[in-house]
């Protein structure tokens, strides 16, 4: 593996999601990635940005988000150059925004190696994570390879997609055999027992030429659309081209458009304390608990006979809670949610019901 160059390493942070399962903290106007969900004074987006400053300069970090969140990104990442906030004029999933950003980066550096990562995931062991990222960049810089970081599964989880990978490896890099959608419990148990499957974390690493070749081969509509803008990227005319053309792109994820079709996909297994923080219960599982197995984020608290609860309240409020077990308690200042943790899969539908009854301000 060769040493990687920071000047040739670029990061695309995906920050356009809504995070509806973290309602009521996560709203359309202020979604999960912008929230201090861990109660430590930094949002998930800020933690992700800080993490990648270890592999490249801030000038090489780009944040991809819907245009309605551009001001939020700029406020939270005030050291990031404004031109590094890539605003999508429509929600067309991940393949179009990755294509757009890849053409833009190629115009800046035709030798670029690109890391694509979600903005709202938790990484507990950053040292190991960064080692895996550097390893992947080194491999992708010399091979025509699309690399994904796979997570060693710790349980038969039905909420994640899986990667089936070859036992044969070279320098810790394995060929991906196929991607599998979220399985039922029995299949998930089989995946974990076999030892041949990883969780798909949605973290990708490739050279700019490799991803553009893959787009040309497997997603020609998206490739052709954004290739037309080559002369506009990184100029004053870029925005007008994107506003006109971006909504015309296919609405498809990078997984469906490229990763499930390409033959040159590889994975590097890792175990670095990863969680996609998809739900309140998933947050509860990975963060520190008190002696009564409660997780609390906020300023003042008075708990009595309360156990196994996830509690998230504003810093300017006092919570007095007695006799609860295995509940989610979330106060965002406008909505108070008190819900059994065992039934949290219902929260997304509950939020839709509240919006229908009370208006879009609660979305």
For residue 324, is it within any domain? Answer: yes
For residue 281, is it within any domain? Answer: no
What's the whole-number mean pLDDT along residues 16-38?
A: 86
Do 257 and 299 belong together in one domain?
A: no
Do 201 and 328 belong together in one domain?
A: no
The 3-state DSSP class for residue 194 equals helix
**Would you tell me how many other CB atoms lie within 10 Å of the CB of residue 261?**
14
The residue among 156, 157, 137 whose CA lies nearest residue 146 is 137
What's the whole-number mean pLDDT along residues 28-57?
A: 92
Do 302 and 353 belong together in one domain?
A: yes
**Would you tell me how many other CB atoms lie within 10 Å of the CB of residue 85?**
20
The model carries a pTM of 0.91
Do 301 and 262 belong together in one domain?
A: no
What count of Cα atoms within 13 Å lies in the side-chain half-sphere of residue 343?
A: 9
Do 244 and 334 belong together in one domain?
A: no
For residue 190, is it within any domain? Answer: yes
The answer for residues whose C-beta is within 8 angstroms of residue 363's C-beta and 6 or more apart is 27, 28, 29, 351, 355
The 3-state DSSP class for residue 183 equals coil
Domain that holds residue 349: 286-362
Q: What is the dihedral of CA 165, 258, 9, 234, to 10 degrees?
A: -170
In tens, the pLDDT along 334-353 reads 899 999 998 888 888 899 99
Q: Are strands 146-151 and 265-270 parallel, antiparallel or unpaired?
A: parallel
Q: What is the dihedral of CA 321, 303, 281, 152, to 10 degrees?
A: 180
Chosen domain end from 255, 275, 295: 275
Instruction: Read off the CATH number of the domain in which 194 is found.
Output: 3.90.550.10
What string of DSSP letters covers 92-151?
--HHHHHHHHHHHHHHH-TT-EEEEEESS-EES-HHHHHHHHHHHHHHHHHSS-EEEEEE
For residue 175, is it within any domain? Answer: yes
What's the CA gap between 204 and 215, in Å, rounded?
Answer: 14
Domains contained in the chain, number:
2
What's the CA gap between 19 and 26, in Å, rounded?
Answer: 6
In tens, the pLDDT along 136-165 reads 999 999 999 999 999 998 888 888 889 999
Do 298 and 237 belong together in one domain?
A: no
For residue 357, is it within any domain? Answer: yes
Q: Is the pLDDT of residue 1 over 60?
A: no
Q: What is the pLDDT of residue 325?
A: 97
Chosen domain end from 235, 256, 275: 275
Do 128 and 34 belong together in one domain?
A: yes
Do 216 and 338 belong together in one domain?
A: no
Q: What is the pLDDT of residue 230?
A: 97
The encoded tokens of residue 134 equal 């550097």
- How much of the chain, in percent, has pLDDT values that exceed 70? 99
What's the whole-number mean pLDDT along residues 312-326?
A: 90
Do 270 and 291 belong together in one domain?
A: no
In tens, the pLDDT along 209-245 reads 999 999 999 999 999 999 999 999 999 999 999 999 9
The 3-state DSSP class for residue 36 equals coil
Do 242 and 302 belong together in one domain?
A: no
What's the CA gap between 326 and 320, in Å, rounded?
Answer: 16
For residue 280, is it within any domain? Answer: no
Do 214 and 296 belong together in one domain?
A: no
For residue 297, is it within any domain? Answer: yes
Chosen domain end from 221, 240, 275: 275
Q: What is the pLDDT of residue 300?
A: 63
Do 337 and 209 belong together in one domain?
A: no
């Amino acid at each position: 593996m060769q040493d990687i160059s920071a000047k040739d390493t670029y990061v695309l942070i995906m920050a356009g999601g809504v995070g509806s399962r973290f309602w009521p903290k996560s709203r359309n106007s202020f979604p999960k990635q912008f929230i201090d969900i861990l109660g430590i004074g930094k949002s998930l987006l800020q933690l992700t940005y800080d993490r990648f400053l270890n592999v490249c300069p801030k000038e090489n970090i780009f944040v991809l988000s819907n245009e309605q969140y551009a001001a939020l990104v700029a406020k939270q990442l005030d050291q990031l150059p404004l031109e590094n906030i890539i605003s999508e004029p429509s929600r067309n999933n991940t393949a179009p925004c990755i294509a757009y950003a890849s053409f833009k980066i190629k115009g800046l550096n035709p030798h670029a190696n690109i890391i694509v990562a979600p903005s709202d995931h938790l990484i507990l062991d950053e040292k190991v994570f960064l080692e895996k990222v550097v390893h992947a960049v080194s491999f992708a810089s010399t091979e025509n390879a699309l690399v994904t970081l796979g997570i060693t599964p710790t349980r038969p989880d039905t909420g994640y997609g899986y990667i089936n990978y070859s036992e044969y490896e070279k320098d810790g890099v394995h060929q991906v055999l196929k991607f599998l959608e979220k399985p039922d419990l029995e299949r998930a148990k089989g995946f974990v027992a076999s030892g041949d499957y990883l969780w798909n974390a949605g973290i990708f690493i490739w050279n700019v030429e490799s991803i553009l070749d893959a787009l040309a081969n497997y997603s020609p509509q998206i490739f052709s659309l954004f290739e037309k803008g080559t002369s506009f990227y990184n100029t004053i005319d870029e925005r007008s081209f994107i506003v006109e053309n971006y909504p015309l792109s296919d609405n498809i994820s990078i997984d469906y458009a490229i990763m499930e079709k390409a033959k040159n996909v590889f994975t590097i297994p890792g175990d670095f304390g990863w969680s996609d923080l998809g739900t309140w219960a998933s947050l509860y599982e990975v963060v520190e608990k008190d002696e009564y197995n409660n997780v609390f984020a906020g300023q003042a608290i008075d708990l009595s006979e309360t156990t196994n609860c996830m509690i998230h309240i504003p810093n300017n409020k006092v919570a007095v809670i007695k006799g609860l077990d295995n509940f989610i308690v979330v106060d965002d200042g406008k909505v108070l949610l008190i819900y059994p943790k065992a039934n949290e899969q219902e929260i997304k539908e509950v939020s839709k019901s509240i919006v229908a009854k009370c208006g879009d301000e609660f979305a």
